[in-house]
Amino acid sequence: MSFDLVLFGGTGDLAWRKLMPALFQAFRHGSLPEGGRIIGVARDDLGDDAYRALIQERFEGVEGAKRPNAEEFARFAALLHFVRMDLSKPEDYARLAKALAERDADTVVLYLATAPGLFTTACEQLAAAGLNTPRTRVVLEKPLGHDLESNRAINATVRRAFDERQIFRIDHYLGKPSVQNLFALRFGNALFEPLWRREHIANIQITIAEDLGVEKRGAFYETTGALRDMVQNHALQLLCAVAMEPPIDAGADAIRDEKLKVLRSLKRWTPEALSQHVVRGQYTAGSAAGHRVPGYRDESGVDARSTTETFVALRAEIANWRWAGVPFYIRTGKRLAARDAHIVVNFQPTPHAIFRTPVGAGNKLVINLQPRDGLELHLLAEGQTARDEARRGAAQTLAPVQLDLDFDKRFGSERVGAYERLLLDVIAGRLNLFVRSDEQEEAWRWMQPVLEHWRGDAQGPRPYAAGTWGPSAASAMIARDGFAWAEEA
Ligand code: NAP
């Protein structure tokens, strides 16, 4: 099967940091179908050779095993081409059409890795140039809009140009190996299903913590913030993966129908919930990795009086038979104490205690997403040493132990990274790990009251020092329910 993968924004940050390395890994693993072309598109005046040289130069900075050797790069470079075009100029689309006609590939992937402001114009013009054939797939990066209304407007325009089955909305968290393993754990094993419900689960926590600040993307972040950047998409998709019912099969619509049902079941916001169950924060100066770092308002491209949130913690509930009453806590932020993304499923304690247990210890399943990925099952076991035995009182004390599933150890270098998997899925036309428009709109609909509440809230985000776990109000929020965040437990 031949393919043309057109990378709009082929010289940009995303193309370089994520897409090109993923394509190279797929090439190296032999999973990229033969006879393909990767066509970079940007306004820069580059030819094929200059584009190849640019990509080669960037690969030279890559450390370790991910760096291609000269022979490998030469073979990979033969796939690379470049078309100069300005997406805002209708006349430039003919140049792309001509380049695509030269090959007439079985599949044409149009990957919009460029400013979101160009998405609608690009889709309209691609259709006007006749580039929306049944063989075409279009890939859209986040963010798709900044609220419900703008998201609907973008989706409506894109759907005028392409059929929903041709539209691949990327959420790269869905491509992460641990998320695949969460699906495998839940729907390929019978062990957890009887426990996966309100009777046995006390609460679920989803944390996506970054230790970095906004780096060079201050201007972008000012108009986005943590809720739009991380919660609307990644965190809610993770919540769906944990909470959805078993789909009737592994097909894209069966999976997406179940995720949509979760989003529709999210309890709507009341004024009380908006004031009690959402905490927004903004980092101030502090320390990260032993260095003094500036506060958000001192970052370049950021307004000195900015009220953009760099941290959000919220409590959600799913109003259905499986989950009624179980709190789902979501937390994400920049300049936190660690780079750490995980989901913790905290099971109920034993109904009656005959052993002593350390405070905060209990049964939990931890799905680690980054920096390491894997699953940990936390149990309590008898682990007395001879010294403990001498001090033993009336009750026996149990110690926390952990069963670790280390996927790297089992599957090693054969494992496929998130963008690699997603790019291969687009080329193969598999929509399972991509977000349907109704899911995306439902996520925006649920978040819209939070955005509106903040707009009218004079208090603004709560400050937290860089290098900490966010404002103390986030701990107070969860403590009101009698629980604690994983690192506090
Ligand atoms: P970027 O570094 O600013 O790159 C933008 C790319 O688009 C460049 O190649 C640029 O090249 C090209 N471009 C800009 N205007 C153009 C036009 N009118 N016609 C044709 N090409 C044009 O942006 P980015 O960070 O890669 O982000 C791209 C998209 O991915 C955005 O939607 C962003 O929100 C999303 N995203 C990025 C990241 C990330 O980590 N960077 C993560 C998630 C999502 P020329 O200026 O030479 O035309």
What whole-number distance in Å separates Cα of residue 26 and Cα of residue 248?
30
Question: How would residue 383 be classed by pLDDT, with cut points 50, 70 and 90?
Answer: confident
288 lines ligand 1 (CB under 6 A): no
Question: How would residue 387 be classed by pLDDT, with cut points 50, 70 and 90?
Answer: low
CA 242 to ligand 1 center in whole angstroms? 32
Evaluate whether 122 touches 161 at the Cβ level (below 8 Å).
no
What's the pLDDT at 415?
75
At 16 the three-state DSSP class reads helix
Output the pTM of the full model: 0.95
% pLDDT > 70, the chain: 97
What's the pLDDT at 125?
96
CA 386 to ligand 1 center in whole angstroms? 62
pLDDT digits (tens, 9 = 90+) for 404-419: 987 777 777 667 889 9
pLDDT beyond 70 at 87: yes
The protein residue with its alpha carbon nearest to ligand 1, atom 3, reads 12
CA 114 to ligand 1 center in whole angstroms? 3
140 lines ligand 1 (CB under 6 A): no
100 lines ligand 1 (CB under 6 A): no
What's the pLDDT at 361?
87
What whole-number distance in Å separates Cα of residue 121 and Cα of residue 186?
41
What's the pLDDT at 367?
95
pLDDT digits (tens, 9 = 90+) for 279-318: 999 999 999 888 999 999 999 999 999 999 999 999 999 9
pLDDT digits (tens, 9 = 90+) for 52-75: 999 999 998 888 888 899 999 999
What's the pLDDT at 390?
62
Other beta carbons less than 10 A from residue 254's beta carbon: 13
Nearest to 166 by CA among 126, 129, 121: 126
β-strand partners of 342: 207, 368
Question: How would residue 158 be classed by pLDDT, with cut points 50, 70 and 90?
Answer: very high
pLDDT beyond 70 at 388: no
pLDDT digits (tens, 9 = 90+) for 465-479: 999 999 999 999 999
Q: What share of residues in the chain are helix, strand, coil (percent, to 5)?
A: 40, 20, 35
What's the pLDDT at 393?
62
Q: Which atom of ligand 1 is nearest to the CA of 220?
A: 34
Q: Which atom of ligand 1 is nearest to the CA of 44?
A: 47
What's the pLDDT at 391?
62
Q: Is 234 a catalytic residue?
A: yes
What whole-number distance in Å separates Cα of residue 329 and Cα of residue 278?
10
What whole-number distance in Å separates Cα of residue 454 and Cα of residue 308?
10
> Is the C-alpha dihedral spanning 260, 263, 268, 269 positive or negative?
negative
11 lines ligand 1 (CB under 6 A): yes
CA 118 to ligand 1 center in whole angstroms? 10
